[in-house]
Chain A
Amino acid sequence: MNDTVTSQTRKFMTSRPLQKKQIVIDILHPGKVTIAKTEIREKLARMYKTTPNVILVFGLKTHFGHDTTTSFGMIYNSLDCKKKNQPKHRLSRHGLCEQKKISRKQQKERKNGMKKVRGTLNSRRIINFKKK
């Protein structure tokens, strides 16, 4: 990161039960586009002397008309803690988890099909068998 980009951290809190530290980051980037999450992770890693793979940055919001961005960061004690405590979509952004990609149309068709059917799978099988 260049010298022109400055960041300031606020609301630092350590959470022992969740094995993490959480933080609110304010980034000033005059004349530039919003800073990428990977760069913010590296900067946090340098600040807190850990590796970037236990750090998670999300919720970036750039204030309209100003050159500041507010984001949230979480620094976990280890990679395992991170894997256990974070939702899958965030882990998949870091490549730690694979998310199933069922298309929206198919999900809806399945749901509408299930509306017409009554009973659990087993009971339906029994009924079908009896019909035959």
Chain B
Amino acid sequence: LLAAGGMLESDLSNAVTLLKNLQEQVMAVTAQVQALTKKVQAGAYPTEKGLSFLEVKDQLLLMYLMDLSHLILDKASGGSLRGHAAVLRLVEIRTVLEKLRPLDQKLKYQIDKLVKTAVTGSLSENDPLRFKPHPSNMMSKLSSEDEEEGEAEDGHSEASGKKSVKGVAKKYVPPRLVPVHYDETEAEQEKKLLERAKRRALSSSVIRELKEQYSDAPEEIRDARHPHVTRQSQEDQHRINYEESMMVRLSVSKREKGRRKRAHVMSSQLHSLTHFSDISALTGGTARLDEDQNPIKRKKIPKKGRKKKGFRRRR
């Protein structure tokens, strides 16, 4: 009992000092609030042309303060807060304010800019709003220069003018005038195949991982597209794109069905898990034949005569 009494005494002195502080602060705050209300009533802060969002926020905050002060009054005069109507009102206003907060975030940039313009009276130098669009920047300056030059020269103006106006770079194809003797022997053909297989083996996943292991360069992690993209899957994608853009359904030939079935069977089994790409070109073993690598050569349709109409199927 004595200990409890002692604690009460020390608390009492603290409480008295706190109450005195509170009284001083309350007097200062009331003076400020009264000055503000006089100003508002005099009409020093017109909000008609302002953002209604901010006005809503102001009103909500004022209502929150009123309810809070009502609660404090009740509690200070010894009443209980249980089931008090002001508590519900406070909760409602608080939820609305919280929902307004993300909107506030989104508008922050705009409001800051408006305030800045209001204060300084003009836009800053780096403001992108200051830059007008210049359609003359879109035109290619090179072609216009050539045209002017062509017109200036009266001698061979027409030919050069026409050539430069085209401007599109075409790949240079040397003309096939004289037939050249085909001299590739068996040995050379084999060498070529070996070269090709070597190049393919160098870029296979096995060799790449070995390189990564022994190189000093930092490890790159790339967001790779599907790692097992096969010829069949690419063709399927091409077919789907065609169907959806032309709004037609293409028929699937028997050969195509067989290919798809074989590809599906191979990929659905665990057969391909342990079969990596063929690096026998580097290690010097027997080559493993895969349909994608050694396709059966079929008669080539001349590229010039082929028309783009229709879906080009793989034979």
Contact = CB atoms under 8 A, between A and B. Distances in A.
Contacts of A72: 244, 247
Contacts of A74: 247
Interface in B242-283: 243-245, 247-249
B245 A59 contact: no
A69 interface: no
A24 B249 contact: no
B7 to A, nearest CB: 64
Contacts of B245: 11
B249 A61 contact: yes
Interface in A36-62: 59, 61
A10 B248 CA distance: 15
B198 to A, nearest CB: 40
A68 interface: no
A11 B244 contact: yes
A102 to B, nearest CB: 24
A72 B247 CA distance: 6
B240 to A, nearest CB: 9
Interface in B193-245: 243-245
A109 B63 CA distance: 92
B149 to A, nearest CB: 43
Nearest to B244: A24
Contact of B248 (A11, A59, A70): A59
Nearest to B240: A70
Nearest to A11: B244
A125 to B, nearest CB: 41
B255 to A, nearest CB: 19
A22 B244 CA distance: 10
Contacts of B247: 22, 24, 59, 72, 74
A59 B245 CA distance: 13
Identify the interface centre among B243, B244, B247, B249: most chain A CB within 10 Å of its CB.
B247
A56 to B, nearest CB: 10
A129 B106 CA distance: 93
B264 to A, nearest CB: 10
A24 B245 CA distance: 9
Contacts of B243: 59
Contacts of B248: 59
A21 to B, nearest CB: 12
A61 B239 CA distance: 14
B26 to A, nearest CB: 58
B250 to A, nearest CB: 10
Nearest to B243: A59
Contacts of A22: 247
Contacts of A61: 249
Nearest to B249: A59
A22 B245 CA distance: 10
A74 B246 CA distance: 12
Interface string A59-78: 10100000000101010000
A8 B249 CA distance: 19
Nearest to B246: A72
Interface in A13-33: 22, 24
A11 B244 CA distance: 8
A13 B243 CA distance: 15
Contacts of A24: 244, 247
A68 B253 CA distance: 23
15 contacts: A10-B244, A11-B244, A11-B245, A22-B247, A24-B244, A24-B247, A59-B243, A59-B247, A59-B248, A59-B249, A61-B249, A70-B244, A72-B244, A72-B247, A74-B247
Interface of B: 243-245, 247-249
Of all A-B residue pairs in the complex, the 9 with the closest CB atoms, nearest first, are A72-B247, A59-B249, A24-B244, A11-B244, A22-B247, A61-B249, A59-B247, A11-B245, A59-B248
Given A24-B247, A72-B244, 9 more contacts: A10-B244, A11-B244, A11-B245, A22-B247, A24-B244, A59-B243, A59-B247, A59-B248, A74-B247
